Structure 1
Amino acid sequence: MTRALDPERLARAYVSTVTQGPSRAVEQLIASRGVIDAAATMRTGDVPKAVWDRISARAHLDSAAQSLDMVAALDGRLVIPSDEEWPAWRFLGFDRQDGAPDKRDAGAPFALWVVGSASIAASSERAVAVVGTRAATSYGEHVTAEIAGDLAVDGWTVVSGGAYGIDGAAHRAALGVGGCTVAVLACGVDRAYPAGHERLLRRVSESGAVISEYPPGTHPARYRFLARNRVVAALSDGVVVVEAGWRSGARNTASWARSLGRPVMAVPGPVTSASSTGCHRMIREGEARLVTGARDIAAEVGVIGTGAGDDDAQDALFGRDLDRLPATPARVLDAFPASGARSVQELSVDSGVTVSAVRSALVVLEIEGHAGRDESGWFRIGGL
């Protein structure tokens, strides 16, 4: 059996097709029964009511094999959680989405349809999202080009949504300096949306990646753009909003970044510009930090080529890593003693976090270099 037609991949392709975006109910079904069994019961309708309400209109669309053939014809692939390039730690923040009503049903993608040479896990290891209005001004496009270009030169992946305006300027700037850029679509990867960006998206796929949680053939829709924004935020170390109107969709991406524990930054514009009112509002209300270039962004999300000495750079990076930890891992880290090891259960009691959430948090802390484990349990790495 080929990689493309293994049962788990077929099941994930089916779930992606019938669910059309995130669903906590479907996520819980998969967690309890496994994706292969879950997909089989979804086909027959033998599922909880919350799941059936979500999938009933599409449950009969068993087009997984055809969708896999379509993405393969594009030299693409379906990336699933068991693949090495699945960005698992990037999606851990979705485990704690139980606050705002518009985020309660939004979990990690069930799969990612990908066209492009870049590994999703590797390209998102050091990434910044640059987003903004479609109706960008010449000022906005100029600032975007400088920011995205400088970030890409310093080795950051530039993540955006492939749209007109700021998104397109960010992708082009990264490509212009030979950097890596990732475009997250709100439609199938076989569709160039907007149509005027067909060539741009093709260039993105040549050195980076074009990705979507929706199978080939899926049309863009407003709710898919809103769901897409959470993936843009999740794949990044921080989100930079260059230009945004009062009700810009970029502010939704920024909201997701805050919810996932990512720093949010905004570029100020002329006080007379309607295209910058959203940025000014976020800065004024404390929703975003004011930045004017790549150096400011580095101060929020990590160290790039600032000319700092090695010791200074390491100290600065360590401090920022702690600052940008999501809330649950940070809370678990605070429960560690200065010396000695603790069990998962002890950390749960000391932090007030459930055992399952502690286990997820420890994965993040281990990857980030803040915690390790041996036969005696988990211990803290580094100072307080």
Structure 2
Amino acid sequence: MATTTVERPAPSRVAGARQRRLVGLGALVAVLVVVAMVSLAVGARALSPAEVWHGLFTPPEPGQKVSDTRLIMQTVRVPRTVLAIVAGIALGVGGALIQGYTRNPIADTGLLGVNTGASFAVVSAISLFGFTDPFQYVWFAFLGAAIAGVVVFGLSSIGRGAGNPLTLALAGQGVTVFLMAMTTAVALSDKAALNALRFWNAGSVAGVHFDVIWPVTLFIVVGLVAALATLPSVNLLNLGDDVARGLGVNIALVRTVGILAITLLAGAATAACGPIAFLGLMVAHLARYLAGPDYRWLVPYAGLLGAVVLLVCDIAGRVVVRPGELDAGVLVALLGAPFFAVLVWRGKFKSA
């Protein structure tokens, strides 16, 4: 009687793949450090490496006036660089996770309605309370993003299509369209809200200080911890719900934790710098190309790529229309729109 043997990957091949992925992660970290240094030096006033070092690490003498270089570094360059890294990691990880949980290769964090939820909350807070400081309305933006994510997840969890990725996408699209209409209605009825929405909605890492960045980072760290805890289960979910259930995965619990993590990541990043479209979509596919389909590697790659891409777009925005600036969200959209078109053209939407 003939027997069938199943070939297993050779240990050397597995070790080689692991080593290549580790080298790739190290290379991305190095690239991120270099891009961050460039971000600190480039702007309306270019700074030399010596000036960057002086602005970062040389304290002023007692009684001496704070130098312009130090002022630029501490109040402008460092906060926007840190925010770009933090928001880029959050949106990159969120984009990879939402594609894994929905088994939809063209899904983005906007699928959960977090972008439009944050926008609606911002214009509502400004219209009702007259807020002008980002520290005041950032909490409403985060709350709006979180509520929108919970509503979308709740709607997709009821009825005959409960838990179906298509149901989640349809619920997200329905909530997004409704909130867009409500945001427009509020903004058009209040000039201050319209002006704030016009600038906030473009997506920018400029003008946000550490009083906003630190609390937002805390939410993102919680989201990252929840995300990392579910990565092995995401791999099993991509084999199909029946297979995952047969292998002992609590699908309802894993999806709930995953959607919570995505909402924290995307909601916090959106609250801090406005909606940045296509970033999660792009870097998730780049990460899959570099690291393969294993989400234990794909997600860290996506996070680092998100930080690099957002920083590069922010730097480019300071250069292309100097002495003015283009918001990072505008340049990310300029890259993301053709990227999305290429995915559709190549038929990537057919494979989950």
> Which protein has greater RCO, CA pairs closer than 8 Å, 6+ apart?
2
Q: Which has the higher helix share?
A: 2
TM-score band w.r.t. shorter chain: under 0.3
Q: Relative to total residues, which structure has the larger strand share, 1 or 2?
A: 1
